[in-house]
Amino acid sequence: MMDNIVGLRFPFGSIEKGSKVVLYGAGNSGIEFYKVNKELNWCEIVAVLDKNYKEVAFPIEVKNPQSIMNLCDYDRVFLSNESRTNRLEIAKQLYSYGVNPDDIVDWEYNYYAREFIVDYYPTFIRSGNENKARICVAISGGLGDFVINLSFITAIREKYANTEIDVVVIGLSLELVRELYYMQAINLIKHAHCIDDFRNRREYHAVFFLNGFNYQLLRYDANSISQIDDNMSSDFNMIFEYQQDNPFFFIPVELRNAITLKKAKLFNWNRYTAYNVNGIFDVSCENVKIHINGNFSDIRNKYALSSNYLTFHYGAGGATKDNVQTKMWPKEYYRELIRLLKKDFPYIMLVQVCGDNYEKIDGADRYIVKENINVVKHVLSKAVLHFDCEGGLTHLASQLKTKCCVVYGPTPSWFLGYKENINMDPVICGDCKNTCVDWAWKCSKYSRPECMYSIKPQMVLERISEYLHLFE
Give yes or no: residues 267 and 331 share one domain.
no
Q: Compute φ and ψ for 105, nearest 5 degrees.
A: -110, 125
Total structural domains in the chain? 3
Give yes or no: residues 267 and 312 share one domain.
no
Spatial distance between the Cα atoms of 163 and 160, rounded to a whole number of angstroms? 6
Using CA atoms, how far residue 95 sits from 69, 298, 393, 403, in Å, is 10, 36, 32, 41
Considering the entire predicted model, what is its pTM? 0.73
- Cβ–Cβ under 8 Å, residues 66 and 12: no
- Give every CB contact of residue 58 below 8 A, 6+ residues apart in sequence: 26, 30, 31, 34, 48, 50
Spatial distance between the Cα atoms of 317 and 391, rounded to a whole number of angstroms? 8
Which residue, 229, 260, 287, sits at the end of a domain?
A: 287
Spatial distance between the Cα atoms of 445 and 425, rounded to a whole number of angstroms? 18
Q: What pLDDT shows up at residue 94?
A: 86
Q: What pLDDT shows up at residue 129?
A: 54
Spatial distance between the Cα atoms of 133 and 131, rounded to a whole number of angstroms? 7
Give yes or no: residues 147 and 95 share one domain.
no
What distance, in Å, lies between the first and last C-alpha atoms of the chain? 79
Spatial distance between the Cα atoms of 416 and 410, rounded to a whole number of angstroms? 11
Q: What pLDDT shows up at residue 126?
A: 36
Q: For every one of its 472 residues, what pLDDT tens digit does the chain have, with 9 covering 90 and above?
A: 333 333 335 776 678 888 999 999 998 888 988 988 888 888 999 999 999 999 999 999 999 999 998 887 899 999 988 776 788 788 878 877 888 777 888 655 433 333 333 332 222 233 345 688 999 999 999 999 999 999 999 999 999 988 999 999 988 888 899 999 998 888 778 787 777 666 666 778 898 999 889 898 888 888 889 889 999 999 998 998 888 777 776 678 888 899 999 999 999 999 999 999 788 999 999 889 999 998 999 999 999 999 999 999 999 987 777 789 999 999 999 999 999 999 999 999 999 998 766 789 999 999 999 899 999 999 999 999 999 999 999 999 999 999 999 999 999 999 999 999 999 999 999 999 999 888 999 999 999 999 999 999 999 999 999 999 999 8
Which residue, 222, 257, 287, sits at the end of a domain?
A: 287
Residue 257 lies in a domain: yes
Would residue 66 be called left, alpha or beta, if left means φ above 0 and alpha means ψ between -120 and 50 degrees?
Answer: alpha
Give yes or no: residues 12 and 138 share one domain.
no
Q: What pLDDT shows up at residue 401?
A: 96
Spatial distance between the Cα atoms of 383 and 341, rounded to a whole number of angstroms? 15
Number of CB atoms found within 10 A of residue 323's CB: 9
Which residue, 254, 287, 320, sits at the end of a domain?
A: 287
CATH for 389: 3.40.50.2000
CA dihedral 452, 455, 457, 463 (to 10 degrees): -130
Give yes or no: residues 319 and 250 share one domain.
no
- Cβ–Cβ under 8 Å, residues 163 and 154: no
Q: Where does 402-441 show beta strands of DSSP type E?
A: 404-407, 422-424
Which range of residues forms the domain containing residue 462?
297-471
- Give every CB contact of residue 430 below 8 A, 6+ residues apart in sequence: 408, 409, 410, 412, 451
Q: What pLDDT shows up at residue 8?
A: 39
Q: 21: helix, coil or strand?
A: strand
Give yes or no: residues 329 and 182 share one domain.
no
